[in-house]
Amino acid sequence: MRIYYHPNHLAHDQARLHQPDDPHSVVYYSEVAQRGPLIHDALLAAGLGAVQPPQDFGLAPIVEVHRHEMVAFLQTAHERFVAETGRDVALPETFSIGERPRRKPVSVWGLLGYYCFDIGSPIFAGTWEAAYGSAQTAVTAAAAIANGERLVYALCRPPGHHAAADMFGGFCYLNNTAIASQWLVEKGQRIAILDLDYHHGNGTQDIFYGRADVLTCSIHADPLHEYPFYWGFADEYGIGAGENYNFNFPLPLGTSEPAYLVALDIALRRIRAFVPDCLVISFGADTLQDDPVGGFKLTVESYGRIAAQITALDLPTLVIQEGGYLLPQLGACVVSFLQGLKTG
């Protein structure tokens, strides 16, 4: 198994921000820099393989998925924010709601709310470098799949599945899963995406919603009760050419392993029917019982059984890290999942 990791994410650290007392608050900044080293060290301790740095594929794979204007804003947002405000951490205060405005603001305050859809995605001095490195990690992992590897893990941080083509949020700035999937599509691969994070991957859905060349399946908490609230319902099947190529499996709060495996079985049937060349998994360990921002009841051992069910597809598989915030058990969850994929 190939493993890729970009350690330069450490300068992007939400632990610098004030944390509310309630970890289930929508402004709880749980996506901390410590997550990366915890997973990295757990992988090494488990002997799953050498951890390698990513190659740099430049901006081209990123702008195949994201609008140039948003990418340019992310590159300069912190510098502009400091110059305009004298403050160090950029967070939006005003948001464009409903339809996107025809006129784009000039002020950095306005642009923050134009491109960002929540208050959970601060921009620090190191945010662009971290997001860029995370995307390069995903593309490097995709290149390994294209070169014949059967199982590759991209330890991406920050995560990406909430970032849409021209919006970011939910701790996410660039959509690593979409960038890697699009890169593989351009290499002639037929791609199925399986999102296993606790929260619906609204950004991934948005990017591929009108397309038939990428299948997206997501198993997540019911958005009537959980973030991202406005996307991820079972009747969202895609539009135009993409109709019936998007499938959501929202589950109730308190879901445990048996019910989760039932939903997974249905999703895997959809994937088999699509006959993909490769499976891309957005993996989140925030489905673990007692995760501070989750509400499911999976165990560490559950991830190995989930993975074993997935291996029946017998597909080259790229795993991209998304969420997972119960730090003492985060590494064990990732190891359980990857070992399950590796051994079947």
Active site positions, annotated: 162
What single DSSP character describes residue 59?
A: S
Upper half-sphere CA count for residue 175 (Cβ side, 13 Å): 33
The pLDDT assigned to 86 comes to: 93
Residue 231 to residue 227: CA distance in whole angstroms? 9
What single DSSP character describes residue 199?
A: S
Are the C-beta atoms of 255 and 249 separated by less than 8 Å?
no
- 309: CB partners within 8 A, 6+ apart: 261, 264, 265, 268
The pLDDT assigned to 344 comes to: 72
pTM score of the predicted model: 0.96
pLDDT at 23 over 90: no
What single DSSP character describes residue 210?
A: T
pLDDT at 26 over 60: no
- Confidence band of 24 (pLDDT split at 50, 70, 90): low
pLDDT in tens, 88-136: 999 998 988 777 778 899 999 999 999 999 998 999 999 999 999 999 9
pLDDT at 27 over 70: no
Q: What are the CA-CA distances from residue 36 to residues 11, 23, 32, 288, 306 (Å)? A: 12, 20, 8, 17, 23
- Confidence band of 21 (pLDDT split at 50, 70, 90): low
pLDDT in tens, 175-192: 999 999 999 999 999 999
CA 163, 285, 12, 279 dihedral sign is: negative
CATH number of 2-55+126-343: 3.40.800.20
Beta carbons within 10 angstroms of residue 10's beta carbon: 15
pLDDT, averaged across the chain? 95
- H-only helix segments in 153-256: 176-186, 202-208
Beta carbons within 10 angstroms of residue 177's beta carbon: 37
Domain layout of the chain by residue ranges: 2-55+126-343
Out of 92-106, 157-171, 245-259, which region has the weakest mean confidence (pLDDT)? Answer: 92-106
pLDDT in tens, 231-241: 999 999 999 99
pLDDT in tens, 42-84: 999 999 999 999 999 999 999 999 999 999 999 999 999 999 9
Are the C-beta atoms of 124 and 13 separated by less than 8 Å?
yes
CA 134, 307, 248, 192 dihedral sign is: positive
pLDDT in tens, 262-280: 999 999 999 999 999 999 9
